[in-house]
Amino acid sequence: MSTTERPRILVVGGGYVGLYAARRILKKLRYGEATVTVVDPRSYMTYQPFLPEAAAGSISPRHVVVPLRRVLPQAEVLTGRVTSVDQDRRVATVAPLVGPAYEVPFDHLVVALGSVSRTFPIPGLAEHGIGMKGIEEAIGLRNHVLEQFDKADSTTDPDIRRKALTFVFVGGGFAGAETVGEIEDLARDAARYYPSIRREDMRFLLVDVADRILPEVGPKLGEWGREHLKQRGVEILLGTSMKSCVDGHVVLSDGTEVDSGTIVWTAGVKPNPTLAHYGLPLGPRGHVDVDPTLQVKGTDYIWAAGDNAQVPNLVEGEGDWCPPNAQHALRQARLLGDNVVAALRGFPQADYKHANKGAVAGLGLRKGVAMIKFGPMTIRLRGRLAWYMHRTYHGLAVPTWNRKIRVFADWTLALFLKREVVSLGAMENPREEFYEAAKPAAAAAAAEQRAAAEQRKDRTTV
């Protein structure tokens, strides 16, 4: 029986999978056939592969995000969090940004919560670490790095200066290698405007517990990427973990100790922990356990895909799972949308099966690695050509033509205009200056009120 006048398809999460699945469903539905509701704490989707370039200033931050209401005009978009799901009653509890929580009934449920940063109980990490999962963190990292240059340039204390110009990146996968490559480029450009700072004054460290970086592109390209970053002055410490970073004092497992003003954490991701409150079957790593049709095991009205799902890899065989990357997320979202509409109409489901097409990574301007698969043949590229492949693939993959055009326009303008190296750190506390200006007036007003109260008290006593 329908929970509303017409069936409701509830999409939990407005990220890559949630956005594409909702678009696919809306495209397939007949007029008035069902209501599509998307719930996410943010009103936009972030294209995460562009976060390193946004942090370096190669792309405008607004061009990395896609507004949900603009892209899904036929959907009901709710800004909030689904805190729990009652499968027996088929209702989800939504906690909005303000006000009390409320229930939203549904007939079909799509779980697309994505992932969060995988962290460990390392002393000082929560206070000083910077993640790279959202556009806010990318903007914050850029402002923070440029602020370190302002600090180093304005002080005569060698210890403060050394700490400000030391940058530690933990995690050597795509996110870590791309971020350190982009930020090193940014720092090199910024140093031109600070006469007292040279590239030799900076120290970049990339730390990973594994024995190589960029494992997604294979050992050969990973080794080339490591050598390339070393030639640019990045110290790469493999088989090493961070033990603590209290007050910015970084202690590594190999005995290395440095004071760093910037600690970037990109050491993997894990499924969103909110999944534990949905009553769904979870795999050993906390992912939702799904069938090849992307239906949650044991249900016929719940689907999941992307980073929060354990999707069988039918190409590789039993026991293998699809990796959490944009390539699979896009294709899973499309099939998920088709299967939801098929279930709504009583038609059979299709299985997800996709062979890996390769991987691309950018390591800064005009530098990258790429592994492209054409059937049994694998092509490995490095340097400028791989960088072109990286930009072409992701430039075409970012959702909507609006964003594609804006991103390519940013890249084109960068061919003729220099990179902006302005820190807007005050954005984190935009009211601080106004507050400081208003404090004297507020204090004077409070003093006048106290004086008036004392006068009224004296007259009453007389």
Contact 246, 149 (CB under 8 A): no
- Flag whether pLDDT at 91 surpasses 80: yes
pLDDT at 3: 47
- Flag whether pLDDT at 424 surpasses 90: no
Q: Which of the four pLDDT bands, split at 50, 70 and 90, describes residue 316?
A: confident
pLDDT at 374: 78
- Flag whether pLDDT at 387 surpasses 50: yes
Q: Which of the four pLDDT bands, split at 50, 70 and 90, describes residue 332?
A: very high
Contact 293, 349 (CB under 8 A): yes
Q: Which of the four pLDDT bands, split at 50, 70 and 90, describes residue 457?
A: low
Residue 287 DSSP code: P
pLDDT at 431: 72
- Flag whether pLDDT at 17 surpasses 90: yes
- What lies within 8 Å, CB to CB, of 304 at 6+ separation is 110, 111, 112, 280, 288, 290, 294, 296
- What lies within 8 Å, CB to CB, of 177 at 6+ separation is 206, 213, 214, 225, 229, 361, 363
Give the residue from 235, 260, 250 showing the smallest Cα distance to 160. 260
**DSSP strands (E only) in 108-193:** 108-111, 115-117, 129-130, 166-170
- How many Cα atoms sit within 13 Å of 234 on the Cβ side? 32
Q: Which of the four pLDDT bands, split at 50, 70 and 90, describes residue 428?
A: low
pLDDT at 263: 97
Name the residue type at position 250. Answer: V
**Is pTM, for the whole model, over 0.85?**
yes
Q: Which of the four pLDDT bands, split at 50, 70 and 90, describes residue 426?
A: low
pLDDT digits (tens, 9 = 90+) for 178-232: 999 999 999 999 999 999 999 999 999 999 999 999 998 989 999 999 999 999 9
pLDDT at 146: 94
User: pLDDT exceeding 90 applies to what percent of the chain?
Assistant: 77
User: pLDDT exceeding 70 applies to what percent of the chain?
Assistant: 95
- CA atoms of 281 and 271, how far apart (whole Å): 13
Choice between 209 and 374, residue whose per-residue pLDDT is larger: 209
- Flag whether pLDDT at 356 surpasses 90: no
The two most distant CA atoms of the chain are separated, in Å, by 101
Choice between 422 and 67, residue whose per-residue pLDDT is larger: 67
pLDDT digits (tens, 9 = 90+) for 19-49: 999 999 999 999 989 999 999 999 999 999 9
Token pair for 271: 């499924």
Q: Which of the four pLDDT bands, split at 50, 70 and 90, describes residue 254?
A: very high
Evaluated on CA atoms 226, 370, 270, 70, the torsion sign reads positive
Token pair for 76: 């009901």
- Flag whether pLDDT at 459 surpasses 80: no
pLDDT at 436: 75
- CA atoms of 144 and 262, how far apart (whole Å): 8
Token pair for 213: 């970086």
Q: Which of the four pLDDT bands, split at 50, 70 and 90, describes residue 295?
A: very high
